[in-house]
Structure 1
Amino acid sequence: MTGERESLLREARQGRLDTAAVLRLFDSLPAMAVADMTGIWRGEGLHSGHPLDGVLERFNWFGKEFRSPEEVFPLLFPDGAGRPVAVDPRFLPFDLALRLGLARSDLAARAFPVLRWLARTRRPSARLRMMEGRGVVTATMIYDHLPICDLFRRLDADSVMGLMDYRGFDRPFFFALRRHTPRALGGKAG
């Protein structure tokens, strides 16, 4: 990754860039192949003034797991022992919490461990495909039950930048993933 890209990524992590600047960074990155997404990835938000900035981190988001193109777990959160477990995103009321202003509340943070436990799953809730997004054909995660697609671009050999396109939001949400381990959880995801 070039020095300029590293600098922009650092600024996005610190919330110093607006959507247009983060989009320029995303658009400057090369495509990601579906086969290169296999594994468990640690996630972090990249802040651009989006309503979701910081929300996943508030609930201790771990990342994502890609077992195969047909078996994708888009939301991993740690269990009581710190092991990542899969959560079915359709059972997490992020939209409602954002509309009601609860997503950043202490009450929501205290209630989340119960919701996380209720929403645990062993079933994948997304798929990976090569699709065009922003003029580039790249690995794209398609949620099974939500109007969301995540486009991925390569930052380096072990990290990617993601752009979440969520129907109902007027701009994308950005995040980064760093490879956690090359192997899947082997059925321990839920």
Structure 2
Amino acid sequence: MTFDEAVKAGRIRVEEALALFDSLPTVELAFLRGTWKGSELQTGHPMDGMLGATGWYGKQFIDAESVHPLLFFTEDRAALFPVDPRKWPSPKLPGLVGPHRAEVETRKFKARLRMTEYRGQLSATMLYDDWPTNDVFRKVDPDTVLGAMDARGMATPYFFVLRRDAESPPLSVTGDPADRAR
């Protein structure tokens, strides 16, 4: 199954997603710089549908040390804000994340990029600072990557798509400026 066929179908089997992922070229760290809009590639994973239902926008890669792994729309959808993965997801915060901004927002970068080996190939990988989780990327085209989230205790990877977005809504960060650390 090709990438376009998989996206059009909206849902593929895990084995097909793994075969597709393995067939794609690896990604260098610098390739990921910028803001990326995300979508899910559903495979029957327990996380399927979660990000789409919460107002998730995507990710932002400034450099190898400065990554916002979770960007969400503000309540009015006019801007984006970074979320601390330690505070979301949470059963106390159901539905859209925007209305809970004050409880989950962070000024700090919460991930970094490294080259790691996954499924026999060395590729750009986002490492969460506070989770035993890695998002490994493979290149679909100059503006699209397929991501595989690999986490301790997860039986199969969770797949998602990121598309480069040069015209993303602005990043809006509130709170104490002293909290902005790399």
Asked whether the two chains share a fold, i.e. TM above 0.5, the reply is yes
Letter in 2 for 1:44: S
Partner of 1:170: 155
Letter in 1 for 2:95: A
Normalising to structure 1: TM-score of the pair? 0.83
Contact 2:55 2:98 in 1 (8 A): no
Distance 1:46 1:183, change over 3 A: closer
Distance 1:184 1:139, change over 3 A: farther
Work out the percentage of aligned pairs sharing the same amino acid: 39
Alignment partners' CA distance in 2, 1:138 and 1:182: 26
Q: Shift of the alpha carbon at 1:39?
A: 0.3
Offset from partner CA, 1:9-50 (integer Å, 9 cap, x none)? 322xx11x1111111111110001100100000000000000
Offset from partner CA, 1:39-75 (integer Å, 9 cap, x none)? 0000000000000001000001100000110000000
More helix by share: 1
**Unaligned runs of at least 5 residues, structure 2:** 175-182
Q: How many pairs align?
A: 173
Q: CA RMSD in A?
A: 2.3
Instruction: Flag as ranges the 4+ runs of structure 1 deviating above 6 A.
Output: none
Alignment partners' CA distance in 2, 1:108 and 1:72: 25
Which 10-residue stretch deviates more, 81-90 or 155-164?
Answer: 81-90
Partner of 2:41: 46
1:108 corresponds, among 94, 100, 112, to 94
Contact 1:66 1:72 in 2 (8 A): yes
Contact 1:88 1:121 in 2 (8 A): yes
**Partner SS for 2:8:** helix
Alignment partners' CA distance in 1, 2:34 and 2:99: 27
Normalising to structure 2: TM-score of the pair? 0.87
Partner of 2:178: none
Alignment partners' CA distance in 2, 1:65 and 1:4: 26
Q: Shift of the alpha carbon at 1:81?
A: 3.5
**Unaligned runs of at least 5 residues, structure 1:** none
1:133 corresponds, among 111, 115, 118, to 118
**Partner SS for 1:168:** coil
Alignment partners' CA distance in 2, 1:167 and 1:21: 22
